[in-house]
Amino acid sequence: MNILDRYILGKFFSSFFFCILLMTVIVVVVDISEKTDDFVKSGLSASRIMTDYYFGFIPRIDAMLFPLFVFIAVIFFTSKMAGRSEIIAIFSSGVSFNRFMFPYFVGGILLSGMLWAANQYVVPQANRKWADFDKKYIHFNMSENEKSTYKQNLYFRVDSNTYAAIRNYDTISKSGYNLSIQRFKNRQLVYNLRATNFKWDTLYKNWKLMNAMERTVQTLNEQNVPLGTTNRNLGFKPVDLNRDEYLKDQMPTSELNQYIKLERLRGSEMLNTLLVEKYNRDAIPVSVFILTLIGAVLASRKVRGGSGAHLALGVVISVSYIIFSRFSLVFATKGNFTPWLAAWTPNLIFGMLAAYLYKKAPK
């Protein structure tokens, strides 16, 4: 890398980190002003609030706005270079447009990789930390129905031949009553397990059944065995009964993949939502690279209006990208749109736009 590359990359990263730092400070100040009463009622110290809440809140917000920060930073510093005729001087010295774009490629790839790694591990943990604090201290005075911790009449598929039915279940105490497990073979019931009460055993990592009865159905007879109190692995865990639509955001990718396998086996209705979340964790980092190229190509040309015109165009493109993403998400979760296409369609469209602008730019 030569002096030009280091100069552009320095401008790139300094503008990006200044932009993300400034916006983070603004968002945190606004959030503090809105939640001051809740923080006072919680009785926690400032250090506890910072570690238990904002260490989850800040990565969550920054990851959501990461592509927008990169795009604005690229347009801002590149348009400044164009306005000072630096880019004209670079081309006049014999540097080709492709060579000029090299540091943008490097910076876009590095920031894309940073966001990809954060999406796999860091952001889900931050979402979990933020959500736990929010439920415990911010929305602690909500009614039980609003918290949605008490589930009724759950019926779901455990595996290809087994089904579970639960009359009542509390996600906080991880306990419930009226549990029934039914296993079928050739469309005939061959096994049934019932329990009046059940609770998750944190020591043995399985379910503790109380007043349980096991029934085995054979061709000519059936056998009923009272089990009393017993521990069993039923093929599902408390996380599977917590039907929180934001649960997918709190799972590292390895856990999310396992959860998707179980939900696919069970024929879950929320499978598309989980798949979109999985594919988005790969697609959104790629958008950082695409938006970097679009921003660099658009802002490298000196135009009347300077940075203002470039930033206005950047806002229009950013809003268009967000609209495409939202429409794709809705069509995938509420319709029959393929989850993979829902996650990658905005990148495909704006990737073609980036390729067109890049090809046209040298002319």
Q: Are strands 188-201 and 175-185 parallel, antiparallel or unpaired?
A: antiparallel
- Which of 354-358's residues contact partners 24+ apart within 8 Å by CB, and which partners? 354/290, 354/293, 354/294, 354/297, 357/293, 357/294, 357/297, 357/298, 358/101, 358/293, 358/297
Please identify, among 224, 239, 254, the residue that sits at the C-terminal boundary of a domain.
239
Q: Do 8 and 84 belong to one domain?
A: yes
Those residues of the chain that have pLDDT short of 70 are 139-149, 219, 243-246, 303-311, 314, 332-335, 362-363
Please identify, among 188, 223, 239, the residue that sits at the C-terminal boundary of a domain.
239
Q: Do 135 and 42 belong to one domain?
A: yes
Q: Do 232 and 175 belong to one domain?
A: yes
pLDDT tens, position by position, 112-148: 999 999 999 999 999 988 888 887 787 654 444 444 5
Asked if the structure places residue 342 within a domain, the reply is yes
Find out whether 207 and 231 touch, Cβ atoms under 8 Å: yes
Percent of the chain at pLDDT above 90?
A: 29
Locate 277 and state its tokens: 């979340």
Give the residue carrying structure tokens 């400034």. 22
Find how far residue 288's CA is from the centre of its chain. Answer: 16
pLDDT tens, position by position, 270-292: 788 888 889 999 999 999 999 99
Asked if the structure places residue 252 within a domain, the reply is no
For the chain, the average pLDDT equals 84
Q: Do 160 and 209 belong to one domain?
A: yes
Asked if the structure places residue 338 within a domain, the reply is yes
Asked if the structure places residue 69 within a domain, the reply is yes
pTM (2 decimals)?
0.77
Asked if the structure places residue 255 within a domain, the reply is no
pLDDT tens, position by position, 142-158: 444 444 567 788 888 88
Tell me how far apart the alpha carbons of residues 245 and 270 are, in angstroms, rounded to a whole number.
Answer: 9
Q: Do 331 and 282 belong to one domain?
A: yes
Q: Containing domain of residue 219, as a range?
A: 149-239
> pLDDT at position 80, please?
87
Total domains in the fold of the chain: 2
